[in-house]
């Protein structure tokens, strides 16, 4: 996930951009803190593998993988309670027996250094195809069609 963020607040908070205008972009509705982003990742059962911060403009990228709620590391007590209480509804239960061919393994391609955006080929099913103009538009389809 890549998003603008507010680095000057340590608490988990989300600022309404229409009122605070932290990002001069009409398509940016809110600006979270890093603590809020990390909290959302834990709440929604993602394990953060790596983070990368930009300072000008303030943006952050989180590389994360989906895990079972009980496998989330550093779960605060309230997140653990939410997972126990709120995820018990059948609509929110995670499948415990996904076959290996249905799962998707995410692994960083480089151990250190920067990713060269001109050469990097993402392995993500909803990523726009390379070579197709995608900046400034929200209407695109994947090579196999939208799933």
Confidence (pLDDT) at 29: 92
User: Quick check: 142 pLDDT over 80?
Assistant: no
- SS3 at position 76: coil
User: Quick check: 24 pLDDT over 60?
Assistant: yes
- Exposed/middle/buried for residue 13 (C-beta within 10 Å: 0-12, 13-18, 19+): middle
DSSP 50: E
In sequence order, the 6+-apart residues with CB closer than 8 A to the CB of 42 are 72, 74, 75, 76, 79
Confidence (pLDDT) at 12: 96
User: What confidence tens digit (pLDDT) does each residue in 36-55 have?
Assistant: 999 999 999 999 999 999 88
Whether 32 and 8 have beta carbons less than 8 Å apart is answered as no
Confidence (pLDDT) at 90: 40
User: What confidence tens digit (pLDDT) does each residue in 113-123 have?
Assistant: 566 667 766 55
| Sign of the Cα pseudo-torsion (26, 29, 35, 39, in order) | negative
- pTM, rounded to two decimals: 0.62
User: Quick check: 5 pLDDT over 90?
Assistant: yes
Confidence (pLDDT) at 84: 83
User: Quick check: 127 pLDDT over 90?
Assistant: no
Confidence (pLDDT) at 41: 95
User: What confidence tens digit (pLDDT) does each residue in 60-113 have?
Assistant: 999 999 888 889 999 999 999 988 887 765 444 545 444 455 445 555 555 445
Report the distance separating Cα 142 and Cα 128, nearest Å: 6
């Amino acid at each position: 996930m890549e998003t603008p963020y507010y680095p000057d607040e340590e608490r988990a908070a989300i600022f309404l951009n229409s009122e605070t205008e932290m990002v001069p972009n009409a398509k940016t509705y809110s600006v979270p803190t890093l603590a809020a982003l990390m909290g959302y990742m834990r709440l929604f059962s993602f394990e953060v593998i790596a983070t990368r911060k930009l300072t000008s403009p303030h943006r952050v990228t989180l590389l994360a993988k989906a895990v079972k709620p009980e496998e989330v590391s550093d779960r605060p007590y309230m997140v653990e309670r939410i997972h126990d209480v709120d995820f018990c509804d059948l609509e929110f239960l995670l499948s415990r027996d996904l076959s290996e061919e249905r799962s998707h393994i995410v692994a960083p391609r480089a151990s250190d250094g920067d990713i060269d955006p001109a050469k990097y080929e993402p392995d993500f099913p909803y990523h726009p195809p390379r070579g197709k103009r995608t900046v400034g538009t929200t209407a695109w389809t994947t090579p196999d069609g939208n799933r």
